[in-house]
Amino acid sequence: MTYIVNGKRFDEEPDPGQCLRTFLRSLGHYGVKKGCDAGDCGACTVWLDGNPVHSCITPAFRADGHEVTTIEGLGSPGNLHPMQRQFRDAPGFQCGFCTPGMIMTSATFTAAQKEDLRRALKGNLCRCTGYRGIEDAVKGVAGVETAAPGKAVGTSVRAPAANDVVTGRAEFTMDTHIEGMLHLKVLHSPHAHARIVSIDTTAALAVPGVHRVYTWEDVPRKRFTTAIHTDHLVDPDDTFILDNTVRFVGQRVVAVLADTAGAAEEGCRRVDVEYEVMPAVFDPEEAMAEGAPQLHDADDPFVRDPVHNILLDFHSHIGDIDAGFAEADVVHEGTYSSPRVQHAHLETHGSIAWMENGRLNVRTSSQSPSIAKVKLGHLFALRPDQLRVFCQRVGGGFGGKQEVISEDLVALATLDTGRPVCFEYTREEEFTTASPRHPMTLTVKLGAKADGRLTAFQVRNVSNTGAYGNHGGETLYAGGTAVMIYRCPNKKYDAFSVYTNTIPSGALRGYGMTQPAFAVESAMHELARALHMDPLELRRRNIVRPGDPLLAMHEGPDDVTFTEDGLAKCIDLVDDALARTADEPSPGPEWLVGAGVASSLHETAPPTEHLSEAWVTLGDDLMYELAVGTVEFGEGTSTAHVQIAANQLGTTPSRIRLVQSDTDRTGFDTGAFASAGLFVSGNAVLRAANAVRDRILEFASAHTGVHLVMCSMDDEGVVCGDQRVSLAELVALARARGIRFTAARKAYGSPRSVIFNAQGFRIAVHRVTGEIRILYSVQATDAGAVINPAQVRGQVEGGVAQGIGFTLTENYQVDADGVMANPNFRNYRIPTYADIPRTDVLLVNSTDSVGPLRSKGMAECCINPVAPALANALHDATGVRYRTLPLTPERIYSRLNESQSVPTA
């Protein structure tokens, strides 16, 4: 067959049944991405004779004799297509994984299609941006700016990888081929709880191309936790690479290694496993009851109460909760439930391993290569010098890649065979085996005086950690921030992380705070209504103020402080914005209109130790090399780090060459999560850049004989008094003396500050169908000094969009046997462009941050107030309180048509 791809002829024969996407990637066109393999996401979009098609559902043979254009053929870094330029300059991307497909679709739009993007973009999904940046890009609205030397901070400069992202040349994890690479696939358990009696691998090994079949008997029998934190002791070592007991449907049972993915999959089908099926339990309350099936052994040291399946529990109080309720004029109590939510990052998990000069190299899609290296070293008894772990650009994470769940198997297979090995998750495996958000059920009881002053605040939180602990304890602890946000002399917090025979839960944007925020902020709205008080006024009377202790679980000292009333400012900004838009018309008489608000608090770094090291070097080419271990997956830390370094070195971002996320080329970095990529790593960058600047100034001062205070640095060199010395001259002089202008500095996640935000919605609810339309969305955020305004806006918009999905459309459905019923984008329903309104993003400048240049990482916290603000708006519109998410039309419809005497759903 003959294919013309980007103007070049290929005489190739695709494999039987091969889709166009995999065929094009086999030819080296890695800008064609895999997001779903079902035609749902559009990441694989290419042109066939000038028409956009989803190449994952287009058979390769259909392109025979036709012209195929991929993102690489649309334009080059030096000659961008207009749509590529618009996506670069809007900016219309964050992680960039969906961007090639977005551009290939958008570049074909007519003027009419650009005016109807709800329809025109329905085949392309983005999980990062919230779509506003994409809309701006399609319509040619530019947002990036050029920074003057030493003035990078506060400017919406372009991302360092922007040209590579929009041309499809940015390398993501699986965008490579290594000669002789083998493919690994996994057989998953069909049972929620079973003991493996026997595994017969004979038929699998007989499949042509199969090299190995690994069972639990072939792997190191070492316990570990897949969760990533610097201190591994905060997470339970309750997991094996492969185990002889399975505890959820989807657990890994066997790994098959073969020449091709198809052969490995066939090998999995041929493995014969005999199971002894055991009783299973799926509900955490039932799991804690006497006589429930027990998931983990009684002698396991990491489980608080294995008989009742309790991984961990907290019980704490401040003051006298009973006296507080006795004092109250009004008491409100309600129970609120939040479901599982999948990260749905467009790039699935994946890793590639190979041996080089006797060392194991692992290229992976991770939020923390440094800690992944530590875990692999533990599992396979490797010294640090025997192992390298690194990332290319990562296609979204949101906490889902704060785990080691693909790296261990490729490391195992490469160490065994000496061959390169790749393992790439399917979209179904993402849904059924990768760790979603913890389902939580919270009972909130509030007492208040008639004037609104809180007298008692009690919360009981039951979290479903699933079959393994992962992040079960840390997310449970993090939920205390929802209690911390309000002043009250009497507080009680009881929380349980419970094992069940369901998919293990993990880290997701908001990290244990999103679910309690939904419960507490909904309860505050209900309390306000019971007090006949405006919900915002109730918050104003009770929110923590500068000087107040941040009390949730104990009264002991901690390292969190704040000095400015950012929360009150956020509330005022949202209140004013809702008032300004109050007169906007309703969609019609069949619609009920209401408004709702919610607040949240987030700490600028996790309570567990967080460490980052940055290196800055002035090279002979007069470029500054910045090396930092933080991974870029759409959160924008790469851009911010470059801006901080350029700002302190008196230069422009174009003079900063970034090296990142490679344990061979960068220092240790705990990872890009909990907003620490800016707060902690940014401080390390700041300190390293300052150290190099000071070293250059000191050298110039000594060289010129001019006192240091008379020396200043700019983009071209150093001015000492009336003398100018160029950087080129200084570098040459220093080299002659054996001196290098380089420095390494570390930063830690302490002391910490807090981020506040508030969300407001005005919605319309259809009286008959239960459909919700968002008429207006606004979020105010206390972001400190803003490093990059466009990025801050984009992060808030993306967080709000994810929160809307979590609240309204996403539904992780599990049947009575523990099987997920809808493991695909089409039926799980992450939001599309048509689902997401534009959000007004209002920034509060504050000065209480101890972050770099007074900035605060705020990409995570913006999701937390979204669900309660929507639930409160729904209550305001209908008079019915919905306490269970998601707020689907079916759930709303059933309640609107019931007797109003039923108070909750």
What is the Cα–Cα distance from 40 to 23, expressed in whole angstroms? 19
Helix axis angle for 866-878 and 789-804, nearest 10°, is: 50
Position with higher pLDDT, 494 vs 848 = 494
Return the minimum-mean-pLDDT range out of 469-473, 581-585, 833-837.
581-585
DSSP string, 670-709: --S-TTHHHHHHHHHHHHHHHHHHHHHHHHHHHHHT--GG
- The share of the chain scoring above pLDDT 90, in percent, equals 91
* Residue 904 pLDDT: 52
Query: Which residue from 733, 693, 700, 740 is spatially nearest to 708, judged by alpha carbons?
Result: 700
Q: How confident is the model at residue 900 (pLDDT cuts 50, 70, 90)?
A: very low
Mean pLDDT taken over the chain: 95
* Residue 512 pLDDT: 95
Decide if pLDDT at 790 tops 90: yes
Q: How confident is the model at residue 344 (pLDDT cuts 50, 70, 90)?
A: very high
**Phi/psi zone of residue 381: left (φ > 0), alpha (ψ -120 to 50 degrees), beta?**
left
Task: Write out pLDDT tens, residues 686-743.
Answer: 999 999 999 999 999 999 999 999 999 999 999 999 999 999 999 999 999 999 999 9
Q: How confident is the model at residue 845 (pLDDT cuts 50, 70, 90)?
A: confident
Task: Write out pLDDT tens, residues 119-128.
Answer: 999 999 999 9
Using DSSP, state whether 597 is helix, strand or coil: strand
Contact 15, 37 (CB under 8 A): no
**DSSP 8-state class, residue 859:** T
Decide if pLDDT at 679 tops 70: yes
Q: How confident is the model at residue 903 (pLDDT cuts 50, 70, 90)?
A: very low
Determine phi and psi for 87, rounding to 5 degrees: -70, -35
> What is the average per-residue pLDDT within 166-173?
98
* Residue 848 pLDDT: 75
Decide if pLDDT at 433 tops 70: yes
H or E element that contains 203:
helix 202-205
Cα torsion 137, 139, 143, 146 to 10°: value is: 90
Q: How confident is the model at residue 894 (pLDDT cuts 50, 70, 90)?
A: confident
Contact 63, 20 (CB under 8 A): yes
Take residue 334 and report the two structure tokens written for it: 């309600």
Task: Write out pLDDT tens, residues 539-556.
Answer: 999 999 988 888 777 777
* Residue 548 pLDDT: 87
* Residue 305 pLDDT: 92
Decide if pLDDT at 898 tops 80: no
> What is the average per-residue pLDDT within 841-854?
89
Position with higher pLDDT, 898 vs 398 = 398
Take residue 20 and report the two structure tokens written for it: 């166009």
DSSP string, 20-38: HHHHHHHTT-TTS--S-SS
> What is the average per-residue pLDDT within 288-316?
91
Task: Write out pLDDT tens, residues 21-79.
Answer: 999 999 999 999 999 999 999 999 999 999 999 999 999 999 999 999 999 999 999 99
Q: How confident is the model at residue 901 (pLDDT cuts 50, 70, 90)?
A: very low
Query: Which residue from 467, 726, 509 is spatially nearest to 622, judged by alpha carbons?
Result: 726
